[in-house]
Amino acid sequence: MEFDFTEDQRLLQETVREFLAGECPVEHVRSLWETETGRSPEFWAKLAEIGVPGLLVPEEHGGLGMDEIDFALVLVEVGRAALAEPVVPTAVVAAPLLRESAHLALAETWLPRIAAGEALVAVAQATSPLVADAHVADLLILRSGDALHAVPRDAARLTFQPSNDPSQKLFTVEFDPQEDRRIATGAAADRLEAAALDRGAFACAAQQIGVCEQLIEMSVDYTTQRKQFGVPIGSFQAVKHLVADLKVALEYARSHVERAAHSVARDTVTRSVDVSMAKVSAGEAALEAARISLQVHGALGYTWEQDLHVWMRRAWTLDLAWGSTAWHRERLAAALFEDALPAASFGFSPQAG
Amino acid sequence: MDFHFTPEEQAFREEIRAFLDAHLPDPVPEDDPGFLREWNRKLREKRWVGFSWPREWGGGGGDLIRQFILKEEMAARRAPALGLDFMGLTWVGPAIIAHGTDAQKAEHLEKILDDEEHWCTGYSEPDVGSDLAALQCRAVLEGDEYVINGQKIWTTSAHVASHIFLLVRTDPTVAKWKGITCLLVPMDSPGIEVRPIENLSGKASFNQVFFNDVRTPVGNRLGAEGEGWRVVMGALANERSGISESTEMQRHLDDIRELARRASRNGRPALEDDGVRRRLSDMEIRIEAMRLTGLRHLTDQLRGKPSGSETAINKLQRGILEFEMSELELELLGSAAQHQGLLQRQTLAWHGTVIGGGSPNIQRNIIAERILGMPRK
């Protein structure tokens, strides 16, 4: 029994953190708000140099052959940097989906390109009518009827849908299903879609941990520096206790997210329950962090100039992606209360681990 | 990251289950003192009381993983606590193991395990609560005896205790936390007077304790003079990680879920009510988080990293959660709850548990100041 990451996994996290501190400071995030696509191919190429897009791509296809446990701390850093490039659809969801599909030619074509940073993939979410980053994707994975299709972007019709988060690019997508673009049908398509949903939700939850860490750090820094009545406002218990409650929510969410990483990577029987718990607890922690950090920053936090809202928007956006908190809470309740839950927890059924 | 247990650990789990199958009655007569004594005797034969204490002093010499498995299995079956003297097992014994002389270990440890000594802890005073280091109860060394004068309050179980783990001021001239010493004092020492305080559930659980020229041999000092603060901070850090508590709470929540299945709301099972589902699923999430966070701390401990202020997180959540669970339980029972005397007493007791050992806002101070580094003033 060991509930922690390895030295190598921590080292990978450090590498990504340093990389993002240099290549994706908040000025970079905000400068992309002013561009037409909101995305940077140059940045993605650098991200590919340190292997992030191909983390889950098997080594024989040019990737690193790692798993979701390895990816978890990388995603925390993605959240901390408020990085909005399509890491989740391309690297966390599409790569394993293509790997697990029975469509070998598709996997052989696209996996090496994903790993090399030469292809972006957008994936329709079972819980949303909108597809994120369809405008920059080379390939779109879309549902029609009982089938999943892999559709080149020029074969799809995109309509831009404005978002409250300038980092987020959303589209409605129409396409004409063709048999030769079909990845899977029926139960096989359902399985791939369910795995995609759990991977996407886990990845959002992991990013929300990073968002939450960043918001707490900004709140601690600000309330330590800002003085009123001759003392730092962070010394007032009314302020201190708000932030302490955030820390509790963060640490609890972190436990769920780390557990979910393991459950997704090993495809355990409690996978969906663990993912929903992670999505709910990380989502609530991040939303609460957004609310509280704005409160302790006062009017300053409500300005466009202050960077606080960059992370607040990430919290709101991630909460609604890959199944909202409300959606996952209901899925969880159905599993727990309608006895759809497989015997839970490794303590009582060690074979489940 | 690996949630598997070794075959040896799994065999230990099976051994516990077989023991419980053979010996634990159903339902558990948890209020029967005769049963509890007999149960403790059987656990002692297995060396499962004080499982992690050194074998030479009567403990089990067990490792942390097996201790976790033992607690989890016991809680899963609602077995009584591992050992009867809560204060002695949780605070005093570990402090004596860490700081005591061989004579003190020989005198107290086996008796704590056998429930022959009953401990209370003398921390709070009338003017000293969360600012514990400001305590005033005085002890002066005269020859080879300390003479103690002063008062303690909110001393849980002092009215039934055989010994008190007592914090006293031995040097009023130095910084407040440097002049504190820890003494292990028999409660039948002349000059000790105990006055029970009735709590709001109508029972006597805590007390005032008066010390009037109480004399105790210097050999009853735990650790060096002036080291009391260090001793007690170590004891506080021994606070439970939350793992076995989460198993107990999960069993409690299972009961509430079954109650919600039977209880009715607007002509439908309460379990189909959105509000009830939301609260129950929220509790499921937090109890699982408590268990997982406990496992993270366990992993830290296995790697030799000391358990730190992070236990404040589980303590804070536990008190709040237990209370919310009891509230939901009462609500589901509706007006029938008026007849559930036991349940109402438990709910009242949780009001006390939330405060005991540091109220929620004290835990929030600890989290904000020691973990997040926010300014004290």
Measured between CA atoms, the residue of chain A closest to residue B261 is A337
* Torsion on CA atoms B204, B206, B208, B209, rounded to nearest 10: 110
> Quick one: pLDDT band at residue A339, thresholds 50, 70, 90?
low
**B369 has a chain A CB within 8 A of its CB:** yes
CB contact under 8 A, A4 and B376: no
**Is the complex ipTM higher than 0.90?**
yes
Closest CA to B224 of B100, B134, B122, B92: B100
pLDDT at residue B303, rounded to an integer: 85
Find out whether A181 and A150 touch, Cβ atoms under 8 Å.
Answer: yes
Which residues constitute the domain of residue A335? Answer: 188-352
pLDDT above 60: residue A351? no
Q: What is the reported pLDDT for A1?
A: 87
Q: How far away is chain B from the Cα of A260, in angstroms, using its nearest Cα?
A: 11
Say if A151 falls within a structural domain.
no
CATH number at residue A256: 1.20.140.10
Q: Where are the alpha helices (H) located in B182-242, listed in sequence order?
A: 228-237
* Mean pLDDT lowest among A59-68, A321-330, B240-249, B338-347: B338-347
CB pair distance less than 8 Å for B313 and A252:
yes
User: CB contact, 8 Å: B307 with chain A?
Assistant: no
Residues of B involved in catalysis: 239
What is the model's pLDDT at position A342?
42
pLDDT-derived band at A348 (thresholds 50, 70, 90) equals: very low
**3-class state of residue B209 by DSSP:** strand
B298/A3 CB distance under 8 A: yes
| Inside any domain, residue A341 | yes
Burial of B357 (0-12, 13-18, 19+ CB in 10 A): middle
Nearest neighbour of B377 by CB, restricted to A231, A251, A330: A231
Residue from the list B292, B299, B302 with its beta carbon closest to the beta carbon of A256: B292
Pick from A1, A232, A259: CB nearest B375:
A232
Question: Homologous superfamily of B119-226 in CATH?
Answer: Butyryl-CoA Dehydrogenase, subunit A, domain 2 (2.40.110.10)
B-chain residue closest to A242, CA distance = B364
> B300–A4: do the CB atoms touch at under 8 Å?
yes
Chain A contact present for B290, CB below 8 A? yes
B244 vs A: CB within 8 A = no
User: What is the rounded CA–CA span in Å between residue A99 and residue A228?
Assistant: 57
DSSP 8-class letter at B220:
G
**Number of structural domains chain A divides into:** 1
Mutate which of B1, B17, B362 to test chain A, going by most A C-beta atoms within 10 A?
B1
CATH number for region B239-371? 1.20.140.10
* Most confident region among A94-98, A345-349, B264-268, B349-353 by mean pLDDT: A94-98
Query: What's B257's DSSP letter?
Result: H
Nearest to B133 by CA among B263, B228, B201, B65: B228
CATH fourth-level superfamily of B7-84 = Acyl-CoA dehydrogenase/oxidase, N-terminal domain (1.10.540.10)
Residue A282's pLDDT is: 98
CA dihedral angle for residue A34, residue A35, residue A36, residue A38, rounded to 10 degrees: -100
Q: Span A295-320, mean pLDDT? A: 96
Considering only CB atoms, which chain B residues are within 8 Å of A232?
375
The SS3 assignment for A227 reads strand
Mean of pLDDT over chain A: 94
Answer yes or no: are the C-beta atoms of A112 and A49 closer than 8 Å. Answer: no
- Quote the pLDDT of residue A338: 81
Q: B337 touching A, CB under 8 A?
A: no
Interfacial A residues in 31-90 facing B (CB < 8 Å): 69
First to last CA, chain A: 10
Which helix (H) or strand (E) segment holds residue A278: the answer is: helix A271-297
**pLDDT tens for each residue of chain B, 377 residues long:** 999 899 999 999 999 999 999 999 988 888 899 999 999 999 999 999 999 899 999 999 999 899 989 988 998 888 998 899 988 998 899 999 999 999 999 999 999 999 999 999 999 999 998 888 999 999 999 999 999 999 999 999 999 999 999 999 999 999 999 999 999 999 999 999 999 998 887 777 899 999 999 999 999 999 999 999 999 887 666 555 556 688 888 888 999 999 999 998 888 999 999 999 999 999 999 999 999 988 888 888 888 886 656 677 888 888 889 889 988 988 888 877 666 566 666 777 777 777 777 788 888 998 999 899 999 98
pLDDT at site A235: 97
CB–CB of A184/A192 below 8 Å?
Answer: yes
How far apart (Å, rounded) are the C-alpha atoms in residues A80 and A75? 9
A328 in contact with B at a CB cutoff of 8 Å?
A: no
Point out the residue among A220, A231, A255 whose CB comes nearest to the CB of B292. A255
pLDDT in the model for residue B307: 63
Structure tokens at B173: 């001239």
Interface check for A218 against chain B (CB to CB < 8 A): the answer is no
Identify the CA nearest to A117 among candidates A17, A59, A170, A42: A42
pTM for the full predicted model: 0.91
Quick check: B361 and A3 CB within 8 A?
A: no
A39 domain residue, yes or no: no
Q: Write the single-letter amino acid at A345.
A: S
Considering only alpha carbons, which residue of chain B is nearest residue A353?
B3
Task: Let me know if residue A260 belongs to a domain.
Answer: yes
Do B296 and A4 lie within an 8 Å CB cutoff?
Answer: yes
Give domain status of residue A180, yes or no: no
Instruction: Give the model confidence (pLDDT) of A183-201 as tens digits.
Output: 999 999 999 999 999 999 9
Residue B286, burial from CB neighbour count under 10 angstroms (0-12, 13-18, 19+): buried
| Interchain contact, B293 vs A332, CB within 8 Å | no
Chain B contact for A248, CB < 8 A?
Answer: yes
In a domain, A246, yes or no: yes
The answer to whether A274 and A263 have CB atoms below 8 angstroms apart is yes
- What are B326-333's contacts with CB under 8 Å, separation 24+? B326/B350, B328/B256, B328/B276, B328/B279, B328/B280, B328/B283, B329/B255, B329/B256, B329/B259, B332/B256, B332/B259, B332/B260, B332/B263, B332/B270, B332/B276, B333/B259, B333/B263
Q: Which residue has the higher pLDDT, A104 or A288?
A: A288
Domain with CATH 1.10.540.10 in chain B: 7-84
For residue B304, give how far its alpha carbon lies from the nearest alpha carbon of chain A (Å). Answer: 13
C-alpha span between A279 and A324 (Å, rounded): 8
- Angle at which helices B64-76 and B7-23 pack, to 10 degrees? 30
Is A97 part of any domain? no
**b/e code A80-98 from CB counts within 10 Å (16+ = b):** bbbbbbbbbbbbbbbbbbb
Asked whether residue A139 is domain-assigned, the answer is no
